Amino acid sequence: MADQSLTNVQIRAAIYIIKKHKWKILVLFFSTVITVAVGSLMATPIFRASSQLLVKPGREDIYVSPTGSSPAVIDYSSGQGQKVNAEIAILGSLTLVMKLVDRVGVYRLFDFPDRTLKGRLFKKAKIREIPSEQIVYKSVLNGLEVSAVPRSNVINVTFEWPDPIIAARVVNTLVELYLDRHLKVHTNPQTYTLLQEQAKKWEVKLGEADRELETFKRRHSITSLPQQKTIVLGRLSEAESQSKQTEIEIQEALQLVSTLEAQLSSLDQNIQLQETVNKQPQTLAALKARLVDLQLQGLKEEIRRVKEMIAEEEKKEQGIVVSGRSPIRQELEGNLLGAKARLEALKARQKNQKLRTATYRQELKALDGFEKQINELQRQVAISEANYRLYLTKFEEAKISESMDKQKIANVRIIEPAVPIMRPVKPKKRLNVMIGGFLGLFAGVGLAFLIEFIHPVFRTREDVDQFLGLRVLATLPKDR
């Protein structure tokens, strides 16, 4: 209850103070409103010109490495604001503003009519003092605003200046200079020359590697290494196969020689070839001839004796035995000599085959060694060719990019160029008057409470009745 009474008293006191100083409050309120209104009317109007740019991924976002590696695309997917912020930094750079001022001209920036109320009423040419370049740069930077449209790749470029035509011209000139600057920032002028030099360098290296490879092949009589290895492997396999077959034949020949020698050792060197029984036919014939002569002579005693001698001769036998080398042994010895001769021939052939096999193995080993060197030379040729083609491709791309730069083809597009807008954006007269009225009212009420705080007195009977709600018993006149 006490709190409510206290609140009522405070409200009543506030109303009392406002009523008491109402004229002061009104005077301060209207003076503030009039002052703000006059100031807005007399202030130099400011006009705004704006343009919009679209920034999209393009060839500027492809990094061409001078080392010849594959081109890398700069990834802005994690935050496309990075790309836009980079372009905003270029647009708002002091270097670009200095070029802008030089392009437009300091005098032209300040060559505009007086659009204030005084200038419109009196239509008198206003002679302006041209500031220094540093102040001009600062003024242009203060009037320039570059911002990004949220969640997009669009950049807003706005410029505020006392003249709408100059403002639009400044924005369009700034955008034109920015496009040139954008191309210079995102391109390396040395890339073209460097890529050309590297392409020529690797072309020379490729020629040297090719000549070295061809010289090596001619020196070692190599036409097709895989084909030559296949031929040598075939010859080696054939020689090894023949050598194995010859080894088998040698073993068979050795076994045959051993068998023939065993058979010869069991046979005599000489054997009986013929046996003849001889009965001495010559003696017997002589006796028979004498017997005939004696019978012709009639000598009986002699005939009898000759007949006895013939009978004795006929009883006698004479044997003749003929011996010599065995034909079987001779045949075996011939077979043995043939087997030994064939064995020697087989051994000679085996020796020749082993020599051929060793030769083929050495040739194959040499080809394996050549293969490593040829592979290394071919690898150098492949590397040189790959680098040459890469730098040649990059050089052609750089030529195209340079041609596009000359034609000012970039990944930035002008969505909307700046046009003069004759309605000023500053001062905002209605808003200024409303703010001035609010400030005047607030200042008047504040002043009233301040006066009461400094000098809290009641001046009339009515003040006591209204503020305290008590009856006044007596009043004293003010001393004069």
Locate the domains of the chain by residue range. Answer: 1-43+427-480, 46-186
Q: How confident is the model at residue 441, as a pLDDT? A: 82
Nearest to 24, CA basis, from 447, 456, 361: 447
Q: How confident is the model at residue 168, as a pLDDT? A: 92
Residue type, 117: L
Q: How confident is the model at residue 27, as a pLDDT? A: 85
CA distances from 289 to 185, 293, 297, 391 (A): 157, 6, 13, 134
> Mind listing the pLDDT tens digit of every residue in the chain (480 residues)?
445 554 665 676 677 777 777 887 888 888 888 888 777 777 778 889 999 988 876 555 555 455 545 554 454 444 456 778 888 888 888 888 899 888 888 888 887 776 665 555 555 555 566 778 888 888 889 989 999 888 888 999 999 988 889 999 999 999 888 888 877 776 666 666 777 788 888 888 888 888 888 888 888 777 777 888 888 888 888 888 888 888 888 888 888 888 877 877 776 666 555 555 555 566 667 766 666 666 666 667 777 776 777 777 666 555 555 555 667 777 777 787 887 888 888 888 888 888 988 888 888 888 788 778 888 888 888 888 888 888 888 777 766 666 655 545 567 888 889 899 888 888 777 887 888 888 888 887 888 778 777 766 666 666 666 666 666 666 666 654
CA distances from 154 to 181, 415, 449 (A): 18, 9, 52
- CA–CA gap between residue 73 and residue 87 (Å, rounded): 17
Residue type, 251: Q
Nearest to 158, CA basis, from 171, 149, 139: 171
> Which segments of 114-163 does DSSP mark as H helices, in order?
117-122, 133-143
